[in-house]
Amino acid sequence: MTKTGAETTTNSDGFLIHTPAQTSPEFSRETPDREVRADLPAKKRPAPAVAPIKVIQLNAARSKLVAHQLLSLMEREKIDLALIQEPATDGSGIYLLDRNPLRVVAAAGPAKSAIVVANPAICVLALRHLCTPHIAVAKLKMGELQWTVVSSYFQFAEPTILHADALGSVLDATGVPVLICADVNARAAACHDPSPDERGDIVVEMNLKKNLRVLNEPGRAPTFRNSGSANLDVTLASPSMARRVKKWTATHDLTSSDHAVIAFEIEGQPATPGMLNNPKRIRYNWRSTDWTKFGNTLKVLKGTRSTDLGCPNVETCTRALTQVLATACETHMSRVKVARPKPAPWWNSTLEKEVKILGRW
């Protein structure tokens, strides 16, 4: 397995952008051939096509066997993102899945929900302060697409309204676009269940209040099948995110869980040519910094942005904090020149096609 160097940078939204070492393509995607001219300036090269993001949703029934089946499914189908309810756990966290190269977002302790990110090209910001044993929350970014993802489990033995209110509070803090995968343990006509109940009415009311779209499709297999059947597992999204979700399916017997594996794709959004080829990298020379003056400036700037820094919306708070730090650095530090990477002069479309044929691209 061959590797090239990895690099971590920070973008204007405060995300840590990790460019992983290239390895054999466990999560490779076929993209249309594109010509790369060595004599064409990098800043004018068009952004490549972006493959859809492959997502699965599953209640894993707290089963270690299902965890192994799920991992095998993710590797076989090259799944980018999995949202799991009732995952199997052990003393160290989420059983089997909480290991490199997978990245897991879940509450500490015996979590009832988890987010598993398999594609190294997806940037992950875990919102730990919003996670609970029943809710896992993260901000994800891939290309120019940035969204919040939530995995939620409504405990059947507890009032549905408690879980609906908790999820609503998370949505108030994160904003849109948002994607939610949940086992609501409720039956609603809006989720195409033939026998709606009072619990389902609470879920429908939450959807209306938060302007969420139900992505479950009519005519599909019920998401839960045991002695009876019901659509307990739902996929929800804000309107802008719902428009990106395609090919929603529910399939039984892929694992031994009595819940179906829900699968769908999210349309990606490529980075702009400027972001792709010339990421803004700023470095500061901090060795001669007067840290007393720096601290005083930082304190003043924090006071002027106190409203945004105290805002419950994570994105607004992150952007304000980034701007405060950047302004303080600009005031008291000198910049260090960073050389922009140039495309290899010998690379061309012929070499690219040959590498693809070898299966190493």
Q: Which residue has the tokens 């090239």?
A: 4
> Helix (H, G, I), strand (E, B), or coil: what is residue 269?
coil
pLDDT, position 225: 94
| pLDDT band, very low/low/confident/very high, at 73 (cuts 50, 70, 90) | very high
- Write the pLDDT tens digit of every residue in 87-114: 999 988 999 998 888 999 999 888 999 9
Residue type, 24: S
Q: Token pair of 164, please?
A: 């609906």
pLDDT at 305: 81
pLDDT at 295 over 60: yes
- Separation CA 212–CA 204 (nearest Å): 9
Q: Which residue has the higher pLDDT, 331 or 24?
A: 331
Q: CB–CB of 192/217 below 8 Å?
A: yes
Distance CA 268, CA 128 (A): 25
Can you list the alpha helix ranges (DSSP code H) found in 186-313?
198-210, 239-242, 273-277, 291-304, 306-309
Cα–Cα–Cα angle for 211, 213, 219, nearest 5°? 155
Instruction: Give the pLDDT band of residue 190 (cuts 50, 70, 90).
Output: very high
- In contact, 79 and 73? CB cutoff 8 Å: yes
What are the sequence ranges of the domains in the chain?
Answer: 53-266, 282-337
Cα–Cα dist 143/271, whole Å: 4
Tokens representing 286 are 């901090």
State the distance between the two ends of the chain, measured CA to CA, in whole angstroms. 12
State both tokens at 137.
């929350």
Instruction: Work out the average pLDDT over 147-176.
Output: 96
Whole-model pTM above 0.75?
no
Looking at per-residue confidence, does 263 or 284 come out higher? 263
Closest CA to 86 of 111, 50, 65: 111
Q: Is 178 exposed, middle or buried (0-12, 13-18, 19+ CB in 10 A)?
A: buried
Q: How many CB atoms lie within 10 A of CB 265?
A: 16
- Is pLDDT at 203 greater than 90 in this prediction? yes
Mean pLDDT of the 158-163 span: 98
CATH, range 53-266: 3.60.10.10
Residue 320 has pLDDT above 90, yes or no: no
User: 71: closest CA among 46, 96, 91, 103?
Assistant: 96
Averaged pLDDT of the chain: 83
DSSP state of 259: B
Gap between the Cα atoms of 246 and 59, Å rounded: 21
User: 133: number of CA atoms within 13 Å, CB side?
Assistant: 4
Structure tokens at 361: 């691209």
